[in-house]
């Protein structure tokens, strides 16, 4: 077993396929040892705000996240200590009351739109991925997903996309592509990129000098 866990960052726009790539890697290592940390679960707690106020939040800005807590939790996992991971409720736009107890593992995947935006996060990562999918495909996927899974209407999705999702993507997410070691076109469908990642992770895990 490696001394220091391997930390992989998986960034990219909303609905680019980050979760799909994460799941594909998870499937390979799940019996071995892998933990997934979703940046979305670290949205700031808005329990003190009314539902109407929560609708005004810009969920695509870096300041919407409790990045301090996210960094603290990754440090804790790297030190091979457990964490209580928050749970997020997209319908209520705030943290759920429960947490998930997460044991430390050999592979830590940190997945989320803006995980390459903060230098402190980037510095913790051994491998940085950016999932790159065209904006037209992403908005179609988002429309389908958010109506089905996140309690949204067509009108609210279009309004949010034009006012915050698109401009914040261009301002904060797209520029982080430059920090990626690997740019993955088409996300979960890119079997070659996923195989390469799996091979690289195995190599790091097997390397004695990984301390």
Ligand X SMILES: Nc1ccn([C@@H]2O[C@H](COP(=O)(O)O)[C@@H](O)[C@H]2O)c(=O)n1
Binding residues: 12-19
Q: Are strands 6-12 and 107-111 parallel, antiparallel or unpaired?
A: parallel
- 121 belongs to the binding site for ligand X (CB under 6 A): no
Q: Are 194 and 127 in contact (CB under 8 A)?
A: no
- 189 belongs to the binding site for ligand ADP (CB under 6 A): yes
Instruction: Write the burial class of residue 6 (CB in 10 Å: 0-12 exposed, 13-18 middle, 19+ buried).
Output: buried
Report in angstroms how near the CB of residue 199 gets to ligand X at its nearest.
26
Q: Are strands 6-12 and 83-89 parallel, antiparallel or unpaired?
A: unpaired
Binding partner of residue 128 among ligand X, ligand ADP, none, CB under 5 to 8 Å per kind? none
- 16 belongs to the binding site for ligand ADP (CB under 6 A): yes
- 34 belongs to the binding site for ligand X (CB under 6 A): no
Q: Where are the beta strands (DSSP E) in the chain?
A: 6-12, 34-38, 83-89, 94-102, 107-111, 127-132, 182-185
Q: Which residues are annotated as a binding site for ATP?
A: 12-19
Q: Are 106 and 5 in contact (CB under 8 A)?
A: yes
- 65 belongs to the binding site for ligand X (CB under 6 A): no
Nearer to ligand ADP, 89 or 205 (CB): 89
Nearer to ligand ADP, 145 or 166 (CB): 145
Question: Which residues contribute to the site for ligand ADP (CB under 6 A)?
Answer: 12, 14-20, 141, 145, 187-189
Question: Which residues contribute to the site for ligand X (CB under 6 A)?
Answer: 14-15, 40, 43, 59-60, 90, 93, 113, 165
């Amino acid at each position: 077993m490696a001394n220091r866990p391997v930390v992989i960052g998986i960034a990219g726009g909303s609905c680019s396929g980050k979760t799909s790539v994460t799941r594909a890697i998870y499937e390979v290592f799940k019996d071995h040892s892998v933990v997934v940390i979703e940046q979305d679960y670290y949205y700031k707690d808005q329990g003190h705000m009314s539902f109407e106020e929560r609708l005004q939040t810009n969920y695509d800005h870096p300041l919407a996240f409790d990045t301090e807590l996210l960094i603290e939790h990754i440090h804790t996992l790297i030190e091979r200590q457990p964490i209580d991971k928050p749970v997020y409720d997209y319908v209520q736009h705030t943290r759920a009351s429960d947490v998930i107890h997460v044991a430390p593992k050999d592979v830590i995947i940190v997945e989320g739109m803006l995980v390459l935006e903060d230098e402190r996060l980037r510095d913790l990562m051994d491998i940085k991925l950016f999932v790159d999918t065209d904006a037209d495909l992403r908005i179609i996927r988002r429309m389908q997903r958010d109506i089905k899974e996140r309690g949204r209407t067509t009108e609210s999705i279009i309004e949010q996309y034009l006012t915050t999702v698109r401009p914040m993507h261009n301002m904060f997410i797209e520029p982080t592509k430059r920090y990626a070691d690997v740019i993955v076109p088409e996300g979960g469908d890119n079997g070659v990129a996923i195989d390469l990642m799996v091979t690289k992770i195995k190599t790091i895990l097997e390397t004695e000098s990984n301390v």
